[in-house]
Structure 1
Amino acid sequence: MTVRLNQDNLSTISKAETPSYDRTGLKAGILHFGVGNFHRAHQAVYLDDLFEKGEGHDFAIVGAGVMPSDAAMREKLAGQDYLTTVVEQDNERTAARVTGPMIDMMPVGDGPAIIGRLADPAIRIVSLTVTEGGYFVDSDGHFDPSHPAIAEDGARPANPKTVFGLIGAGLKRRQEAGIAPFTVMSCDNIPHNGKVTRAAVVGTMRLSDPNFADWIDQNVAFPNGMVDRITPATSEREIAHCAETFDIDDAWPVYCEEFKQWVLEDDFPQGRPALEKVGVQFVPDVSPYETMKIRILNGGHAIIAYPAGLMDVHFVHEAMETDLVARFLEKVERDDILPIVPPVPDTDLSDYFDLIKRRFANPKIGDTIRRLCLDGSNRQPKFIVPSILDNLKAGREPSGLALESALWCRYCRGITDSGRVIEPNDPNWDRLVEKARAAESDPSAWLSMTEVYGTLKDEPRFAEPFAKWLAMLSEKGTAETLKVYLGD
């Protein structure tokens, strides 16, 4: 018999770990924007571990959101007292735990209420997971103050709608009241995420109050961090599995791999929870770790995503069981990525890649190829193009990464090798389809997307192999093209 997840029913749950700490004694210390699956499988789990040790109980989480989907999430979580079932799945084990570090969530769209909570002296950290595409950056990776949403916040600073406008308004309220500023901690999967977040907050405030923008730049901490845990989207499949396997009726459980990692720069002037006691690495400079992860893991996801998508492979572990895809990943990583990743303290990059392959091959995660193919227009410039550029700087021709780029282009024509229609899978899907179809006769049409490729269209060491592979994909199909690249 399933048990409806809520605080009153915790004692009746027998097939999952439940919080042993007194949740009524928790006090808010963190306000988090973007209470999605990754946040609840990562930051919230680390805090739950710490709370179980009897520490950090004044750093409970209050959620916040600005997207329409956040309202549905708030309704579901509020109905279960902000508890979440986290199901960790490894090749050899599956285990569930109910986590309880979140104690409230602000009404979505209620700017004044959110700003008021941001001004609360108890809030010492504001964290966020707003996705790679949520930082309003231009083709060069710089903050774009001309974006309509940001421009509107600049024109109406007292009534902001974006995360960055709200954070700025909260900091303004604290400055006026003589309250020390909170630390702003990005948990998104982007290079130098603290620096990028600083640019977004400062840039938004500069539109209405340049002096205050300077004050933020000089007085507010934005530590960089590297986060890692594979966390697929929740579907009816996971909801049903949670009920059938663990007897828990959870409206939005989170399924994830067992592995998790968090590397943070230790810059928290108003204090922080002692997360080092539960496995978080605090380092002076997170750059080597984030470069390693973004190039090898996220780049690896892109490498397997598009050939698998074109070959109608559904799950990520099935892609790793597909010989051509697995060998393509191996060759591109070892030829084009590992040689140009800078050294990482106390880390063997080859061993790290072997770990990544084992994680990709985990059959219990249920991660989908479609999810990996999602939002390439935002992900390719961050996960693939930097490796291309570094190869060129080193005098190397990145043939495998050129093929990866051609596979993305071919995927964006909107039809698989078997003729199956690919449903829209990118915020810029219509434009990508137009560019991909134009590239059938003129490959430079694809590379002319400077927001993705910069000036690579004019670099023959990349443009020529890209054109060669794209033509071969059209003529021979994905499988035969992979065989040519692999030397079969």
Structure 2
Amino acid sequence: MPTNTLAIPLSLANLDKLPAGVARPSYARGDLSPGILHFGIGNFHRAHLQVYLDRLMNAGKARDFAILGAGVTPYDVKMRDALEGQDWLSTVVEQSAAVSAARVTGVMTDFLPPMDGAAIIRALSDPAIRIVSLTVTEGGYFVNPALGKFDPENPAIVADARAPENPKTVFGLILAGLKARKAAGVQPFTVMSCDNVPHNGKVCREAVAGLAEAQDKGFAAWVRDTVAFPNAMVDRIAPATSDRERGIVRDEFGIEDAWPVFCEDFLQWVVEDDFTAGRPAFEEAGAEFVRDVTPWEMMKIRILNGGHAIIAYPAGLMDIHFVHEGMEHPLVRAFLQKVERDEIIPIVPPVPGTDLDGYFRKVEERCLNPKIGDTIRRLCLDGSNRQPKFIIPSIADRLAQGLPVDGLALESALWCRYCAGTTDSGAVIEPNDPNWDRLTGAAQAAKSDPMAWLGMRDIYGETADAPAFRTAFADWLGMLWRSGTAETLQRYLGQAE
């Protein structure tokens, strides 16, 4: 693809110079003031919450709810460095299979130096900040996956409990900000998780209040009683940015952007209307406010996120790179359809105004979108955190009802086989989980003793004790090692001779 030497560097000064086909803010930076401090300025946040705010601000609303960025990791430093040079602007490219459209959003007014605790606490103490939002990933809430509860013995939490005046975690910083507001008689902010975590508001409350318990039990009770933590279901695919995406933005849209965001054209946010200090009218930008988000959350986590895992591991073992390529493989597509329709969808409770089979067909359509460039490796990432949330609950529910778990056991065996560290062709799988060394050791031991894998009680819990699951898992894992992924899928699908 030829380089567009006339591409315009993204900045506030250059907004009016951008090509005519690129949408841009109708609001000026000077019209905005921060009302939301957000931890974790990543691609999903910029393709989701920032897009809703951009819609509202373009309509002349919510301009006192601009984003102030914050972070506590080296990743945040890299993101800040990239965005600072373009005045915190982002190019968001929304892609359907047929159309790509670029929009520049300008809803973030500043990004505090990451890991500067004093600056972050000062900002959290400001009465103008009424919402603190988070995208810190599924693994960022210090949850014991087997128990599904906050882990107060995590070393980072123990360190913050011992030194509350110098916190290093997001939750320690949030607590310090809340303490300062309480002491000054300032209304507490709402803490709004935007992560793909079941009951994310509740999980976030337990992290904040759980850390507070170790510091001051009275203050912990105040947090539980006074601070709002709305649950929400968030959904949009926004893959990692690479030179591929930078090149497309430059060559097709005429913009030089150090870190553009590519995403699908699908966007969904269902959130409980529980905000301590007010909120933007997100419903006017397409969000849906409900009393209880649980039905939407379970639908998404079980059908979409569980479906991603079902696609991911067989495709990864067969050396398939992109998600849409996995969906185009007849065995992977048929495996997804059978497990979803036979084992997952039948145990998902009804969702108001939603046809579950229609929702699944939309999931298939989204995963088939070739423009997103979503990778199988991304879907395989962090299984030790994702499996206990997206797959194992479906297994447990079916076992509790005396229902078969053949397909879900095969999915779990595929994850185990993937974590052994090589594909069916012998290609090395680079580490793809925070616990990769542990997983690889267990997966290699499971080649001769499948229970070495199910013995990870922090992941499988009591599910590993169910004879039906143990037997099916062991049988499928043995077949994967003997016959490979394609033949095993054929056997499951009834296509083997």
TM-score range, shorter chain: over 0.9
Match of 1:399 among 403, 406, 423: 406
Matches within 5 A, 1:362-373: 362-373=369-380
CA shift for structure 1 position 304:
0.5
| Counterpart mapping for 1:153-232 below 5 A | 153-232=160-239
* 2:18 pairs with one of 13, 21, 24: 13
**Residues 141-199 of structure 1: per-residue CA shift (max 9 Å, x gap):** 10001101000000000100000000000000000000000000000000000000000
**Structure 1 equivalent of residue 60 of structure 2:** 54
CA contact (8 A) 2:34 2:129 kept: yes
CA–CA distance in structure 1, aligned partners of residues 162 and 465 of structure 2: 39
Pair 1:481-2:488 in alignment: yes
Q: 1:361 corresponds to which letter in structure 2? A: L
Number of the residue aligned with 1:288: 295
Following superposition, the deviation at residue 416 of structure 1 comes to 0.4
Find the counterpart in structure 1 of residue 472 from structure 2.
465
Per-residue deviation, residues 222-278 of structure 1 (Å, max 9, x unmatched) = 000000001100011101111011110000000000000000000112110001101
Cα-to-partner distance string for 1:320-370 (whole Å, 9 max, x where unaligned): 100000000000000110000010000000000000000000000000000
Mapping of residues 259-408 of structure 1, within 5 Å: 259-408=266-415
Residue 13 of structure 2 aligns to a residue whose secondary structure is: helix
Matched residue type, 1:425: N
- Counterpart Cα distance in 2 of 1:322 and 1:291: 27
What is the DSSP-based 3-state SS (H/G/I as helix, E as strand, rest coil) of the residue aligned with 1:197? helix
Give, in angstroms, the shift of residue 463 of structure 1: 0.6
Aligned residues: 488
Please identify, of 452-461 and 367-376, the stretch whose mean Cα deviation from structure 2 is larger: 452-461
Give the unaligned 5+ runs of structure 1: none
Q: Which residue of 2 aligns with 1:70?
A: 76
For the pair 1:4 / 2:4, whether they are aligned, the reply is no
- Partner Cα distance (1:276, 1:357) in 2: 27
CA deviation after TM superposition for structure 1 residue 96, in Å: 0.3
Match of 2:110 in 1: 104
CA distance in 2, matches of 1:141, 1:456: 14
Corresponding residue SS for 2:149: coil
Return the alpha-carbon distance in structure 2 between the equivalents of residues 229 and 272 of structure 1: 22
TM-score by length of 1: 0.99
Identity among equivalent positions (%) equals 65
Equivalent-residue separation in structure 1 for 2:463 and 2:390 (angstroms): 15
Q: In structure 2, what is the equivalent of residue 29 of structure 1? A: 35
Residue of structure 2 in register with 1:129 after alignment: 135
Deviation per residue, 1:102-151 (Å, 9 max, x gap): 11011111101100000000000000000000000112110001101000
Q: Deviations over 1:22-80 (max 9, x none)?
A: 22110100000000000000000000001011001000000000001101111111111
**What is the deviation of 1:456?**
2.1
Q: CA–CA distance in 1 between the matches of 2:100 and 2:119?
A: 40
| Cα distance in structure 2, aligned partners of 1:197 and 1:20 | 35
TM-score of the aligned structures, taking structure 2 as reference length: 0.98
1:397 Cα deviation (Å)? 1.1
1:144 aligns with 2:164: no
Runs of 4+ in 1 over 4 A off after TM superposition: none
Structure 2 Cα separation of the partners of residues 95 and 421 of structure 1: 37
Matched, 1:419 2:426: yes
Q: Distance in 1 between matches of 2:424 and 2:235?
A: 32
Aligned AA (1:411): Y
Q: Which runs of 5+ in 2 are unaligned?
A: 1-5
Q: Distance in 2 between matches of 1:431 and 1:21?
A: 50
**Structure 1 position 460, deviation (Å):** 0.7
The whole-number CA distance in structure 1 between the counterparts of 2:294 and 2:208 is: 21
SS at match of 1:454: helix
The answer to whether the 8 Å contact 2:395/2:463 transfers is no
What residue is the counterpart of 2:260 in the other structure?
253
Q: Distance in 1 between matches of 2:431 and 2:108?
A: 34
Paired amino acid for 1:331: K
- Kindly report the root-mean-square deviation, in angstroms, between the aligned alpha carbons of the 2 structures: 0.6
What is the CA-CA distance between 1:394 and the residue it aligns to? 1.6
Aligned residue for 2:3? none
Equivalent-residue separation in structure 1 for 2:115 and 2:286 (angstroms): 35
Q: Report how far residue 395 of structure 1 moved.
A: 1.3
Shift of 1:296: 0.3
Matched, 1:233 2:240: yes
Alignment partners' CA distance in 2, 1:227 and 1:395: 32
1:457 deviates by 2.3
**Distance in 2 (alpha carbons) for counterparts of 1:445 and 1:468:** 14
